[in-house]
Chain A
Amino acid sequence: MSPLDLALFALKALRGHRLRSVLSTLGVAIGVASVVLLTGLGEGARIYVTGELATLGSNLLIVLPGKVETSGGLPLIGGVPHDLTLADAEAIRRRVALVTRLAPITVGQATVSCGSLNRHIPVLGTTSDFQEIRRLRVARGEFLPPGEIDRGSPVCVVGTKVQRELFAGANPLGQTLRVGEWRFRVIGVMAPKGESVGFDLDDIVIIPVATAMKVFDQTTLFRVMIEANSYEVLGSVKGQVKEVMIARHGGEEDITLITQDSVLASFNKIFTALTLALAGIAAISLTVAGIGIMNVMLVSVSERTSEIGLMKAVGVTQRQIVLAFLAEASLLSAAGGILGLITAQVLVRLSVQFLPDLPAQVPDWAVMSALFIAVGVGLVFGVWPARRASKLDPIQALARR
């Protein structure tokens, strides 16, 4: 028999018990809708959180001097690691493609004074790129001037707290600030930023990195921050940086590269797990729906016992009887699947409208698997009733009227 005839036969049979068919279809629809809806919300939450994290600099690469064994491998054999120098930073900037910004950083504590007022605070040596990399805003004046990394001029930018404490809130631009024995001209005041990755950026003085190396008599940088063109090329940039550094340090890998990658990846993992857990919970309702279908099919089989006997008498094979009942079950569940999917899409649209911050969206895989699962549920839970029908003894079946 043709698949069309099979489907039509099944459809007519379903119309024979309309209410039951509609109710079990609703069961599947609710199951499918909850799977799709919950995965949609989970996916929304994941996108939201990883998006937030990405603005913190997902395309940032940080170079630290020395090899930190994070994977618990063999400790580094050999002598003292090479310094991470300004020349290294310069080499990275020149030789590594797709680097948009690069900020070498050195840090020290110093007594900073203006007239009789003084404070013991962190002094940060860096370059003009640091502003963009950390998304800093300048309230007055300007940030460090762009230029050669190794040319340090005696200028500084101060945090708001420094301005408040040392200049009593007066305009410090053009005034002189002493850092240890050194004198700096104040060229900018930063907008309040607050604590950020271990520094109170409001209580800090920023000076050109070359000058800072001299002030603190440092030979090695604290770290180098590198911003890649995009998140996608971060891996390639990382590889190139490693190569350049190994070449410069006599074949020894004595730097450590850190990306936000791992943080992002673990958040991704957490949220994928959460989404799957939600899907799992929703899948329970699909199972309930499947049992509903099985129930409807079993009732149908027992109600149509004499019809099944008749089918056998006119030469319908067991296989065809199984197929006919499976067709009914999968029609029910497919209808439920489509209905559920439409419902879920509507609800997701609504949720996006009322909760625009949570970009709920139904991933394609959830749509596809919900439909497959719906039909699968029909088939799996339809098999037993269908086989029961096909195994009925025709004579006993016909004895029923």
Chain B
Amino acid sequence: MIALKGVSREFQVGDETVHALKDIDLEITGGDYVALMGPSGSGKSTLLNVMGCLDRATRGAYLLDGKDVTGLSETELALVRRHRIGFVFQFFHLVPRLDAAGNVELPMVFAGVQRGERRERVAKALDSVGLSHRARHRPNQLSGGERQRVAIARAVVMGPSILLADEPTGNLDTHSGREIVELIERMNANGLTLVVVTHDPAIGRRARKTIAMRDGLIVNGMG
């Protein structure tokens, strides 16, 4: 469960202060499916990054499963990301020199998971995204949709409780975009909390909740 209380995020650009998030209050319960919508520059990515502990709020408190993570050290935040959070990005961010299996394995390598167990979990994760037959393919040998599925397998392989997807279909055609959405929805159905940033109203309608943002503020009453 995610709870933001009075969270602001400001960026200093020269003498100017950009208010990317303004005093955000937000609660997302475990297993929820939330769509984050709004025009470009409204603060969606910033909010997602704060929720994913990739970024820190300038002010306010962030409670993850009831625990305040605002004051955690860099290393502690890294461990939170490692175990509790999965990220999916618009541009996949696969490591080009590693094949699909290698990319899915990466978080486990650095988490110190034993080799044998890694192999099993890679196989299972690739199977869950329907890419067992592409395990030895490099990213440049995969289609966009397949790449995003590898990225999703990588995001869930450490067994996180929250999946944060920033425009996961933004770089895909309608058909593969639809597949990706269905895939992460299936994971949500299995209990994963899902937060998706999207411009697609269709996806917005599918989510259990929609949060509309503008100028760093949440402008609807939380769907």
CB distance from A113 to the nearest CB of B (A): 98
CB contacts (< 8 Å) of B33 on chain A: these are none
CB distance from B103 to the nearest CB of A (A): 9
CB contacts (< 8 Å) of A15 on chain B: these are 97
A401 close to B91 (CB less than 8 A): yes
How many of chain A's residues touch chain B, expressed as a range? Answer: 20 to 34
CB contacts (< 8 Å) of A395 on chain B: these are 45, 49, 54-55
CB contacts (< 8 Å) of B117 on chain A: these are none
Residues of chain A in range 367-401 having any CB-CB distance to chain B below 8 Å: 394-395, 398, 401
A313 close to B87 (CB less than 8 A): yes
B93 close to A306 (CB less than 8 A): yes
Chief secondary structure at chain A's binding surface:
helix
A314 close to B106 (CB less than 8 A): yes
CB contacts (< 8 Å) of A398 on chain B: these are 89, 93
CB distance from B197 to the nearest CB of A (A): 14
CB contacts (< 8 Å) of A356 on chain B: these are none
Q: Is the C-beta of B75 less than 8 angstroms from some C-beta in chain A?
A: yes
Q: Is the C-beta of B112 less than 8 angstroms from some C-beta in chain A?
A: yes
| Contact digits for A276-291, partner B, Cβ 8 Å, 1 yes 0 no | 0000000000000000
CB contacts (< 8 Å) of B107 on chain A: these are 314-316
A16 to B158, CA, bound (A): 26
B54 close to A320 (CB less than 8 A): no
B75 close to A317 (CB less than 8 A): yes
A314 close to B75 (CB less than 8 A): no
Of chain B, the residue at the smallest CB distance from A324 is B110
A319 to B79, CA, bound (A): 12
A317 close to B112 (CB less than 8 A): no
CB contacts (< 8 Å) of B85 on chain A: these are 315
A16 to B91, CA, bound (A): 20
A16 to B107, CA, bound (A): 19
Which of B82, B91, B93 neighbours the largest number of chain A CB atoms within 10 Å of its CB?
Answer: B93
A315 close to B158 (CB less than 8 A): yes
Q: Is the C-beta of A71 less than 8 angstroms from some C-beta in chain B?
A: no
A9 to B154, CA, bound (A): 17
Of chain A, the residue at the smallest CB distance from B106 is A314
Q: Is the C-beta of B95 less than 8 angstroms from some C-beta in chain A?
A: yes
A1 close to B78 (CB less than 8 A): no
A9 close to B74 (CB less than 8 A): no
CB contacts (< 8 Å) of A5 on chain B: these are 109, 115
Q: Is the C-beta of B98 less than 8 angstroms from some C-beta in chain A?
A: yes
Which of B74, B82, B109 is close to A318, meaning CB atoms less than 8 Å apart?
Answer: B74
CB distance from B116 to the nearest CB of A (A): 13
Of chain A, the residue at the smallest CB distance from B84 is A315
CB contacts (< 8 Å) of B111 on chain A: these are 1, 315
A1 close to B112 (CB less than 8 A): yes
Which 8 residue pairs are nearest across A and B when measured between Cβ atoms?
A: A315-B82, A314-B107, A315-B81, A16-B97, A317-B78, A310-B93, A316-B110, A313-B87
Give B contacts to A, CB under 8 Å: 45, 49, 52, 54-55, 74-75, 78-83, 85, 87, 89, 91, 93, 95-98, 102, 106-107, 109-112, 115, 154-155, 158
14 interchain pairs, CB-CB under 8 A: A2-B112, A12-B98, A15-B97, A16-B97, A310-B95, A311-B110, A314-B107, A315-B78, A315-B82, A315-B158, A316-B82, A317-B75, A319-B75, A398-B89
